[in-house]
Amino acid sequence: MSVWFTKLLKAKKSCIIDNNLKKVHYELDNGAELVEEYDLNTNVVTRRAWRRNKELKGEQSWDVEIGDPEPTYNFEEKYMIRENSGQPFVTRRNTRINIEWRIRNLPYPIEVYSVIVDKGTNSIIVKTSNKKYYKKINIPDFDRLEIELEQENVSCSHRFNTLIITYKKPKKMIEFEKALFEEIKKIEPQNSEDLNNCKIS
Amino acid sequence: MAVAAAAKIAEVRETTRVERIGAHSHIRGLGLDESLEARHVSQGMVGQVSARRAVGIVLQMVREGRIAGRAVLLAGQPGTGKTAIATALAAALGHDTPFTSMAGSEIYSLEMSKTEALTQAIRKSIGVRIKEESEIIEGEVVEVQIERPATGVGTKVGKLILKTTDMETVYDLGGKMIDSILKEKVQSGDVITIDKATGKITRLGRSFARARDYDATGQQTRFVQCPEGELQKRKEVVHTVTLHEIDVINSRTHGFLALFSGDTGEIKPEVREQINGKVAEWREEGKAEIIPGVLFIDEVHMLDIECFSFLNRGLENEMAPIVIMATNRGITKIRGTNYKSPHGIPLDLLDRTIIVPTTPYDEKELREILSIRCEEEDCQMADDALTVLTRISKETSLRYGMQLIMTSSLIARKRKGHEVEVEDIKRAYQLFFDEGRSVQFLKEYQEEFMFNEMEEEEKMDVN
């Protein structure tokens, strides 16, 4: 199998089951942490987040690859600069056969957008003809599994101020996810009952 | 209409002249040539040739960065340019080398112990240059909107619209960011980069699209292309942080926001040890580079015996910066003891320092300094008035002479004169006493003051 798969096999793994979600925590040998959340009804990753190099500036926040970003609360008032809440943002979703991106807060009609696969950087580029939005979407999974992007797998639609880009999963990826899920089944879940019943003093 | 215009002018003045004129703001460098010889008048420095040459050699030592933990003592009478030389050294070292300036009395804080204050000062003077991938925003400014609340208090609200050739985004600004945008005078049409984590703004230049906005532009205005692609990029940047900043970021209780609020409190020695280890590791891996800087302690006689012994020990550390101290004391008590020692510094520490003396200025140099100050304070002075002022400075002190510049210029302005004349200097001299005349006045009229105790002749003693 691929290099990435063996790397995950070697990582220190632990998991808990919370209702019908299985949460898996990997500790990779370079110190990075990876958390995945599987929906046990569909056996598909619904969330994935990374925490890389925590050496430089204390604890770093989680870097969300799949699923909704961590909610930010109002008490974190002391920000330096951040995008206005009305600005477009991308979230990624995983289904059994597709990878989907939703770019919210994009009010322009569908003719404006062009979604192109860039072979050079192996990424999808979203452009608008009115020069208001530009985004290069990387697919870390594909980089890890060394899969090349194909233009014919991309399709997109626009509804409710949201641009939805769909990419059909290549066979190699579906096989990898299946194999990984078989591995994850083997991890003994820690009893999540204890975690939930933890008394707050 | 006229009122509106006046308000506008006041506003312009407020934004263009943020820097105020300090006692040493005329100093731009040490005034040395390539072979480290001191030019007589250069970069705001006058005279003090041998001291400046000596400090020039120290500058070379700091730049090479191989020697750690040396101490230099600038000793001389009040008003002979000790602080000026230190300021000049800081200016000559440039932005990238850390220079910490503190007064001896600063360490007496109730918030932290004396040694903690000294350790922090020492660690502030050591820079680490780190190569790091960080998230930056790079784009052309479309609009800056900053709104102050109508009441004048409360948080400011700011918005910044940036664009590239392909996109446009609205950003919300935090309070610190608003301040630095005001300070950098960011306007629409500028091309800037913002480090997202630290909030550091760098101005790259003005956009070519705005090249025709003004008929006249300053010579140093650089025109650049509007960036392409996404606004937010990951870039490898090299930046210099001090060890103290890394300490604060990693001391868990505060987080890096403590850097801005200023309240850092005490930092545990374990944290520091851990960071020293980490920095050494980075250095071996080639990820980081140590830049030893300069710690300047003014009025060093205000330190007490414990601080001196702590400094003694601290200088032996290989991470120690170059410590420059300045004092105007002769043989006096070491604070915290009853022993007398030269400069109020214990002999063992004195033994480790190289001492650079500064000597009183002669009349020609005084005149030179006063004319530089006149220029700095925007004050036209007649030649004979400058001669009179030089004489006054010679007889009283240079500091008093410098005080008279602004006061006499205000007097001249009051009588609607263009230049400061001898008369104005005389008037200011009569209005404001120097220290000598004040003492004499007190001696004559001391009976009429309260709590006069002149009988027991006691000299002022700060110990």
- Interface membership of A54 toward B (CB under 8 Å): no
B370-to-B169, B220, B386 alpha-carbon distances in Å = 52, 30, 8
- Do the domain assignments include residue A195? no
Q: Is residue A125 part of a domain?
A: yes
Q: Which residues of B touch A77 (CB under 8 A)?
A: 174
pLDDT by position in tens, chain A (length 201): 678 888 888 888 888 888 888 888 888 877 788 888 888 888 888 888 888 765 555 556 677 888 877 766 654 556 778 888 888 989 998 888 899 999 999 999 999 999 999 888 889 999 999 989 999 998 888 888 888 888 889 998 998 999 999 999 988 888 888 888 888 888 877 765 555 565 655
- SS3 assignment for B389-457: HHHHHHHCCHHHHHHHHHHHHHHHHHCCCCCECHHHHHHHHHHCCCHHHHHHHHHHHHHHCCCCCCCCC
The ipTM assigned to this model is: 0.81
Q: What is the pTM of this model?
A: 0.65
CA nearest neighbour of B88 among B152, B28, B164, B8: B28
Contacts of A121 in chain B (CB under 8 A): none
> What's the pLDDT score for residue B435?
87
Average pLDDT of the residues in B323-331: 90
- Residue A92: give its domain's CATH number: 2.60.40.790
Report DSSP state, residue B78. T
User: Which contiguous run of DSSP H or E holds residue B324?
Assistant: strand B322-327
Tell if the CB–CB gap between B255 and A135 is shorter than 8 Å. Answer: no
**What domains does chain B contain, in order, with CATH numbers?**
1-131+240-357 (3.40.50.300), 132-237 (2.40.50.360), 363-440 (1.10.8.60)
Q: Does A199 touch chain B (CB under 8 A)?
A: no
For residue A178, being part of any structural domain is answered with yes
Residues of B with CB under 8 A from a CB of A: 130, 132, 137, 159-160, 163-177, 194, 196-199, 229-230, 249-250, 252, 255-257, 260, 278
Q: How many domains does chain A have?
A: 1
Q: Are B128 and B286 in contact (CB under 8 A)?
A: no
Q: In the prediction, which pLDDT does B9 show? A: 46
Q: How far apart are CA B53 and CA B42, in angstroms?
A: 13
pLDDT category, B184, cuts 50, 70, 90?
confident
- The answer to whether position A144 is within a domain reads yes
Q: In this structure, which amino acid lies at residue B29? A: G
User: Under an 8 A CB cutoff, do A81 and B257 touch?
Assistant: no
Could you tell me the two tokens for B396? 């009283």
Strands A33-39, A81-83: pairing kind: unpaired
Q: How distant is the Cα of A82 from the closest Cα of chain B, in angstroms?
A: 5
Domain range holding A154? Answer: 3-189
Residues 55-114 of A with CB under 8 A from B: 55-58, 77-87
Model confidence over B342-354: pLDDT tens digits? 998 999 888 888 8
Choose the mutation target among A75, A81, A85, A137 for the interface with B, i.e. most B CBs under 10 Å.
Answer: A81
